[in-house]
Structure 1
Amino acid sequence: MKVKKYDQFNESVYQAKLANGLTVTMLPKTGYHKTYATLTTNYGSIDNTFVPAGSTELQRFPDGIAHFLEHKMFEKADHDAFQIFGQYGASANAFTSFTKTSYLFSATRHLKENLTTLLDFVQDPYFSTATVEKEKGIIGQEIEMYDDDPSWRLYFGMIGNLYPNHPLQYDIAGTTDSIAKITADDLYAAYRTFYHPENMTLFVVGNFDPDEVLALVKANQDAKDFTAFQPIERKIPETAADGHDIIPYRTIDMPVNRAKSIVGVKGLVPIESGAAALKYRAAVNVLLELLFGDTSADYLRLYDQGIIDDTFGYDFELQNGFNFVTFSGETDDPAQFDTAIIDVLENWRRSVVDQDDALALVKKEMIGRVVFMANSLEAVANRYDQRLFGTATIFDEPAVIDSLTLDDLTAVAEQLLQSQAISEYQIRPQAKN
């Protein structure tokens, strides 16, 4: 078992890779009553074209299958995994993102039983035609609910602009038409391909002894039989390096009282995983704070002019294989909103060049936020992404942020904020009859 010490935080992270390939990462925290654990597979909504385990041919699976599989994993032939977690006083959940699926629980007692339940229910799939058909109705209602959500439509409308030929454009849950095509055999094929321990990570943080937890997990895994791991072959379409495939502008009408607008910027340059990805994320977040933080000159100017208001916000998405930034808000004049945001992006140098004092202040604020998050078990676990950041944890982030210079931000801005990578999407109020 490897140990990585963070003396500044008085924390130690323990990691081991088991014989079956499962990576176990543990962060014991004294003084906490709760323990939080996540079991994650590197399988998300964009992984809809792959070679199923045991096959040699690429196969296209229905959009939304990763999310559908996540829903079905809790249901077994004679019980529901939620019931078992409940018996042991745990709160359990799961989520699917573009690139991964995570199953999790938090509990203040019965760690052994809850950890065993987590491992056992995820590693023992049960799908039948009847239960799959029943689930289609449940997920279909969820999809229809999001279809009626203007903010959700705005966000995925922008992703569709930035990635029109990429599975990112599809809702994580799929569509009612796509999930109607999912079969129990499809779920088993996806499960066998992506739910092998070699493609999974267990992260445990909270009140426990790492030697005891590792022994428990190892014994649990040694008692199970797993097939040999077949390296996963995914087909993810490449996007144009010059951004020529980006849709520059779209608008739709919805029953909203006020228009919504979003400006997106697609990262055109691939980001290497590991330390480079961690630094890139930190640099982009600092850059965005300099440009649009609530004390920045441009933010205050646009706010005073009434171009943006308290509904304004921005988001940076970095996952394995892609990254993009969005700026959105409600507005009475979508064209003016978009023009103002794009002006700030294209003239980023006025917020970066010679802004040493502003940079120092932003770095101090961001380090403070990270240190605060490090006290949250959920934040520590959910920010861990071995596939993207290697062995780095939240405790590596303050040093990375502190090391950033204006030259680093200039390099990132030149790489990310390219005019041809910018797109606009608007939702306007429907005309009243």
Structure 2
Amino acid sequence: MEIVQYPQFDEKLYREKLDNGLEVNILPRSGYHKTYGILTTDYGSLDNKFVPLNKSKMECVPDGVAHFLEHKLFEKKDHDAFDLFGHYGADANAFTSFTNTSYLFSTASYPQKNLDILLDFVQEPYFNEKSIEKEKGIIGQEIKMYEDDIDWRFYFGMLQNLYPEHPLSIDIAGTVESIAKITVQNLYDCYWTFYHPQNMNLFVTGAIEPKETMNWIKENQAKKQFMPISDIKRANPENDESGQDIIPYRMLELDTQRPKAAVGIKGLDQVPAGREGLIYKMRIDMLLWLLFSDTSVSYLRLYNEGVIDDSFDFMFQLERGFHYASINSDTDDPQRFCHDIIAILENADQLLKGQYTQFNLAKKELIGRQIHSMNSLESIANQYSGRLFNGATIFDRVAVIQEMTLEEVLTAGKEFIRSEAVSVYQILPKEGN
């Protein structure tokens, strides 16, 4: 078992790759009574075209299969995994993103039993026609609910501007039409291809002893037979790196009281592999913080002039195969908002050059936020990057921020912020509202 030490935080991470390929990370936390475990597969809604296990040709499955599969794994022939977790005092959940699917539990009792339940229900699939048809109705209602959510449509509206011909523009849950096409064979093809232990990682943290916990996991895995390890062949979605596919402006009228406006930036630059990718991400996070945090000069000006309000937000997302930023707000003047935000972005270098005092204060603020999040078992485990950043943890992020320079941030910003990468999306009240 490898031990990764973080002396600055008096933490030790125990990690090992099991014979079946499962990557295990164990982080004991003294003084905690709770245990948190999360099992993640490197498989999400974007992975809709791949070569199924033991087949030779690329196949395309309906949109929404990854999310559908997440729902159905809890249900077994004679029980529901949620009931088992509840019986042993654990809360359980799961979520699907564009590139990952995760299953998790949190408990103050029976950590070994709950670990077994987590590994067993994820690694023992059971699907049948009757339950799948029932689930289509349930998820169909969920999709319709989100279609009535203006904030959700606002979020995907921007993604559809930035990635109009890409699976990112499609809801993770799919559409009512696409999930109607899902078959038992689709679920098993996706499961056996992407849920092999070699494509998964397990992170356990809290009131645990690392060697004992690792033994529990090995005992569980030793009882199971898995297919031989093989490479996964997936068709990475085509991503136009010229920006020519981006929709520069789009507007939608809905029953809302106030306009919503967003400025998006599609990442057309190349993200470095491994931990260099984490450094890149943290630099762009820092850039946006310097420009748009609630203590920045630009934010205070826009707020005092009534262009933005407390709904203002900004984010940067980087996952396998894509990255983008979005700056958005409810606003009474959407045209002014978009004009000013784009001007701030295009002049970031001039606005921030030489602002070392502001930069050093921002570093302290972001380091403080990272350290604060270390108090949460969920934050520690959920921020584990898996293979995206070569196994970087929340503890690696502080060192990245500490070593960062303003010049590096501005250089990264120049590569990321390009005029051809910018798009505007607005939701306006219907006439008469």
Q: TM-score if structure 1 supplies the norm length?
A: 0.99
Does the CA-based 8 Å contact 2:16-2:24 persist in structure 1?
yes
Match of 1:153 in 2: 153
Of 116-125 and 271-280, deviating more is 271-280
Instruction: Tell me the CA shift for residue 237 of structure 1.
Output: 2.5
Alignment root-mean-square deviation, CA: 0.9
Structure 2 distance, partners of 1:357, 1:141, is 51
Of 386-395 and 11-20, deviating more is 386-395
Instruction: Tell me the CA shift for residue 249 of structure 1.
Output: 0.8
Structure 2 distance, partners of 1:432, 1:149, is 20
Identity %: 53
Match of 1:417 in 2: 417
> Tell me, what secondary structure is at the counterpart of 2:253?
strand
Which residue identity is paired with 1:402? Q
Map 1:113-192 → 2, pairs under 5 A:
113-192=113-192
Match of 1:212 in 2: 212
Q: Which runs of 4+ in 1 moved over 6 A?
A: none
Match of 2:61 in 1: 61
Of 402-411 and 108-117, deviating more is 402-411
Instruction: Tell me the CA shift for residue 213 of structure 1.
Output: 0.8
Map 1:13-412 → 2, pairs under 5 A:
13-412=13-412
Instruction: Tell me the CA shift for residue 181 of structure 1.
Output: 0.4
Instruction: Tell me the CA shift for residue 42 of structure 1.
Output: 0.3
Which residue identity is paired with 2:45? S
Structure 1 distance, partners of 2:391, 2:333, is 46
Q: For 1:26-46, what per-residue CA distance to the aligned partner results, in whole angstroms no more than 9, with x for missing partners?
A: 100010000100000000010
Which residue identity is paired with 1:414? K
Structure 2 distance, partners of 1:7, 1:175, is 48
Instruction: Tell me the CA shift for residue 126 of structure 1.
Output: 0.6
> Tell me, what secondary structure is at the counterpart of 1:389?
coil
Does the CA-based 8 Å contact 1:270-1:322 persist in structure 2?
no
Structure 1 distance, partners of 2:352, 2:400, is 18
Unaligned runs of 5+ in 1: none
Q: TM-score if structure 2 supplies the norm length?
A: 0.99
Q: For 1:204-223, what per-residue CA distance to the aligned partner results, in whole angstroms no more than 9, with x for missing partners?
A: 01010110111111111111
Does the CA-based 8 Å contact 1:73-1:122 persist in structure 2?
yes
Q: For 1:33-67, what per-residue CA distance to the aligned partner results, in whole angstroms no more than 9, with x for missing partners?
A: 00100000000010011111111111111001000
Of 102-111 and 272-281, deviating more is 272-281
Instruction: Tell me the CA shift for residue 432 of structure 1.
Output: 3.4
Of 231-240 and 396-405, deviating more is 231-240
Which residue identity is paired with 1:54? N
Structure 2 distance, partners of 1:346, 1:275, is 28
Which residue identity is paired with 2:2? K
Instruction: Tell me the CA shift for residue 229 of structure 1.
Output: 2.3
Structure 2 distance, partners of 1:224, 1:273, is 33
Instruction: Tell me the CA shift for residue 242 of structure 1.
Output: 2.1
Count, aligned residues: 433
Does the CA-based 8 Å contact 2:272-2:280 persist in structure 1?
no
Instruction: Tell me the CA shift for residue 270 of structure 1.
Output: 2.4
Of 185-194 and 265-274, deviating more is 265-274
Which residue identity is paired with 2:39? L
